[in-house]
Each structure stands twice: as structure tokens, then as C-alpha cells.
């Protein structure tokens, strides 16, 4: 399995400012520790040995915390956006220091308990350019729906709408580094809009479904819920 992962950790946390103040969303405190702490613990548990943080807004808050932390048994490097580049631009910037042929990409403000080794095996067996981890959700309108065919290929990314049941993009990807960087993407771009949605018809994206725990701390209700959930998951 590849041993490198990019963590998109430059989010502003606008909807949480009334709760966490003016801090990067990945630094939102959960039971006395930044949310990023749990993401790094998860990566180490999954066998990742190098994490590359894509930083932007108030990056010094993250780097100062890392300098004072005891470490997580993995190498933590980072790149810093001089201006907002979007999710696609942030990934491209981080890719400039990636050494592995494939790299996992995670959002720094979501947690999805996926078996990364199994996801990697599926990715390789299907020859995908990018594999997207999907989570089945019920009675939701906060996320778009991801459509797949019977072989597991991603065929469409649909806009947010009320859904009784459907698969959502869980925010974990496994990307072929060379193929992604070979694409003619602007340095400032959206990974979701300018890459996934525009290229899905090429048939190079594969879906990996996981029933693991999922949470997005982007709204105060889920930020409150994760305080309880993580007490059990990370004793």
C-alpha cells in the first residue's frame, strides 16, 4: 500500500466561527485536542508513514501546534498557499512534494473510518486514476449523491437535494499522482467541480464503499456530536 497521504487543512471554518473562533477548521478543539490530532492518529493506525498538510488560512496556528506536539509516529510535512487555490489547487501544490505513485487525499474537517489498505487493493485491481470512498446515507439533503454502475465505476456526481437514501462522497480519495498532475488543471481550481465532475465521463473513477463511521464537523450540531463520539473511538 502507498504510505503517503495529503490532508486538506486550509479550511476557514466559517460556519463554526461562533463556536471555535477565528481558527482553521482542522484546529477545532475536540475533547481538548485539535480535530487534526485525530486525523493524524487515524492515518498512522492505517499504516500511513508520511502526511503532507495543504495549509492556507492561519497556517502558523497549525505549524506551531505541530512543532509543540510529541509526534504521531509519522513524518508530517506541509505546503502553504500564498493565496487561496481551492481544493484542486491545494492538492496540486501538495503533489509537488509527493514521492509515491499513488497518494491518499483526505479532508481535514471530516473523519471517515475507511480501511485504506482494502481501498488501495480495489484501486489497483480496477486500474483507476482516482478512487472515491463512498458512504451510504439516509434522509439527507446536505450532501450531493454519487452514482455508480454495476461494476463500481463512478458515472455521475449529482447536486445536493433531499434524498431518502444514497451514496455520498466521503472525502477520502486515492489518486494516481502522475495521471492527476498530467491533467491541464488551473493552479486555482476546485477538485470536485473542475476535476471530478468534469472528468467523470472518461470512466477513470472508481467507487469504494465503506460502512465506517463518518462525520463532517462543518456545522455546530455535528461539531457537538463528535465531542461525544470521539470519547469512545479515541480513549
* pLDDT tens digits along 5-42: 999 998 655 555 555 556 788 999 999 999 999 999 99
Q: What's the rounded Cα separation, in Å, for the pair 76 and 9?
A: 13
Q: Give 151's Cβ-side CA count (13 Å radius).
A: 11
The range of the structural domain enclosing residue 80 comes to: 4-233
Burial (CB count <10 Å: 0-12, 13-18, 19+), residue 65: middle
Q: What is the mean pLDDT of residues 217-225?
A: 89
Listed in sequence order, the residues at least 6 apart from 130 whose beta carbon sits closer than 8 Å to its beta carbon are 173, 174, 175, 176, 180, 196, 204, 205, 206
Query: For 79-119, how does the pLDDT look when each residue is reduced to its tens digit (9 = 90+)?
Result: 999 899 999 999 999 999 999 999 999 999 999 999 999 99
| Higher local confidence (pLDDT), 21 or 212 | 212
Domain total in the chain:
1
- CATH number of 164's domain: 3.90.550.10
The confidence score (pLDDT) of residue 25 equals: 85
Which phi-psi region, left, alpha or beta, contains residue 94 (left: φ > 0; alpha: ψ -120 to 50)? Answer: alpha
pLDDT at 73 > cutoff 80? yes
| Higher local confidence (pLDDT), 57 or 148 | 148
b/e code 162-182 from CB counts within 10 Å (16+ = b): ebeebbbbbbbbbbbbeebee
Q: Is the full-model pTM beyond 0.85? A: yes
The confidence score (pLDDT) of residue 176 equals: 98
Considering the chain, what is the average pLDDT of its residues? 93
Q: Rg of the chain over CA atoms, in angstroms?
A: 17
Query: For 112-171, how does the pLDDT look when each residue is reduced to its tens digit (9 = 90+)?
Result: 999 999 999 999 999 999 999 999 999 999 999 999 999 999 999 999 999 999 999 999
The confidence score (pLDDT) of residue 39 equals: 98
Query: For 184-200, how does the pLDDT look when each residue is reduced to its tens digit (9 = 90+)?
Result: 999 899 999 999 999 99
Amino acid at each position: 500500500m502507498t504510505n503517503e497521504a495529503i490532508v486538506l487543512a486550509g479550511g476557514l471554518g466559517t460556519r463554526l466561527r461562533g463556536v471555535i473562533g477565528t481558527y482553521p477548521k482542522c484546529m477545532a478543539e475536540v475533547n481538548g485536542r485539535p480535530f487534526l490530532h485525530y486525523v493524524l492518529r487515524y492515518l498512522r493506525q492505517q499504516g500511513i508513514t508520511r502526511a503532507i498538510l495543504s495549509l492556507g488560512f492561519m497556517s502558523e496556528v497549525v505549524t506551531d501546534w505541530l512543532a509543540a506536539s510529541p509526534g504521531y509516529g509519522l513524518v508530517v510535512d506541509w505546503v502553504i498557499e500564498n493565496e487561496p487555490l481551492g481544493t484542486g489547487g491545494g492538492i496540486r501544490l501538495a503533489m509537488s512534494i509527493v514521492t509515491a505513485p499513488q497518494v491518499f487525499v483526505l479532508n481535514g474537517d471530516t473523519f471517515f473510518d475507511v480501511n485504506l489498505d482494502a481501498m488501495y487493493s480495489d484501486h489497483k485491481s480496477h486500474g483507476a486514476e482516482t478512487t472515491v470512498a463512498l458512504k451510504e446515507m439516509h434522509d439527507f439533503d446536505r450532501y450531493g449523491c454519487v452514482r455508480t454502475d454495476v461494476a463500481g465505476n463512478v458515472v455521475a456526481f449529482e447536486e445536493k437535494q433531499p434524498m431518502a437514501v444514497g451514496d455520498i462522497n466521503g472525502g477520502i480519495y486515492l489518486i494516481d499522482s502522475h495521471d492527476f498532475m498530467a491533467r491541464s488543471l488551473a493552479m486555482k481550481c476546485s477538485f470536485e467541480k473542475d476535476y471530478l465532475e468534469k472528468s467523470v465521463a472518461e470512466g477513470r473513477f472508481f467507487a469504494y464503499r465503506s460502512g465506517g463511521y463518518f462525520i463532517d464537523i462543518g456545522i455546530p450540531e455535528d461539531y457537538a456530536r463528535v465531542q461525544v463520539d470521539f470519547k469512545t473511538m479515541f480513549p
